[in-house]
Amino acid sequence: MEQTSADRSSELRADCARCFGLCCVALPFAASADFATDKAAGKPCANLRADFRCGIHVRLRQEGYPGCTVYDCFGAGQKVSQVTFAGADWRSGSGAHARRMFDVFPVVRQLQELLLYLDEALTLTAARPVHDRARRLFAETEKLTLESPERLMELDVPAHRRRVDEVLLRVSELMRAGAGRRKERRGADLMGARLKGADLRKAGLRGAYLIAADLRGADLRGADLIGADLRDADLSGADLTGAFFLTQPQVNAARGSAGTRLPASVTRPGHWTAAG
């Protein structure tokens, strides 16, 4: 029986209860506006408890760790913990075992992100002409995530990503048909841009730098937002209805309000303001 979108999506969301705190150990971070302290890759965060839970999870922003609140492994944590390493946590084996787990985690995370985009593509009616290709790539990518640690560490992820990107670009073209050349802003430097109330319907914002951009009241309906950097972008009152390839980490990194309209694929962050 073919998986439904709900079946696929359930495995593309982080389930920290089934993970060994991999993002809190494997990944490095530097003292900055996003993190209160430095932490080297492979070193457990000082806030990680013995049960692999975060000791300050409900106070991350107040304690100076907003960077943690905008990260999502897309289900890679539980897959590496429970499938790739069959429930053997990084503390239970040798140092080599831990290093293998930490090396594999970011590889699987990249694959899970591609699965997220392919899964969304399969829900888009306008993208129906490429659904067969997207379905085959989803199955192939899913199979890769189930490979052994050794095979995963040898995997050429950029090459596989290029194949997936061909389909995702075609999806964007189909979704944005009739948008016109002026709406193509792929990779544009829009940091701090004054775009209040801008008409960005069906805009191609793939990989655009929208850091701290003023997008209050902007119309982003049907926009392609894959890879767009929305850190500190103000989406208060903006309309993102039908925007696609928008992930929860992107939304979490932005600012918004009760008046911001979001696609059903993401949820409104708790730190957004109630006004507007």
Largest CA distance in the chain: 57
pTM of the entire predicted model: 0.93
Domain coordinates in residue numbering, the chain: 7-174, 180-276
Q: What is the DSSP secondary structure assignment for residue 83, as one 8-state letter? A: I
Going by C-beta distance under 8 Å and a sequence separation of 6 or more, which residues neighbour residue 138? 8, 115, 118, 119, 122
Q: Cα torsion at 129, 130, 136, 142 (round to 10°)? A: -130
* Residue 10, pLDDT score: 73
Q: Please write down the long-range contacts of 233-242, taking CB distance under 8 Å and 24 or more positions apart.
A: 235/260, 236/260, 236/273, 236/276, 237/276
Whole-number Å distance between alpha carbons of 159 and 137:
13
Mean pLDDT of each 10-residue bin along the chain, 276 residues long = 60 93 96 94 95 94 93 96 96 90 98 98 97 98 97 97 98 92 90 97 97 98 97 97 97 96 93 75
List 194's β-bridge partners, or say none. Answer: 214
* Residue 250, pLDDT score: 97
Helix (H, G, I), strand (E, B) or coil at 240: coil
CATH architecture of 180-276: 3 Solenoid (2.160)
* Residue 276, pLDDT score: 60
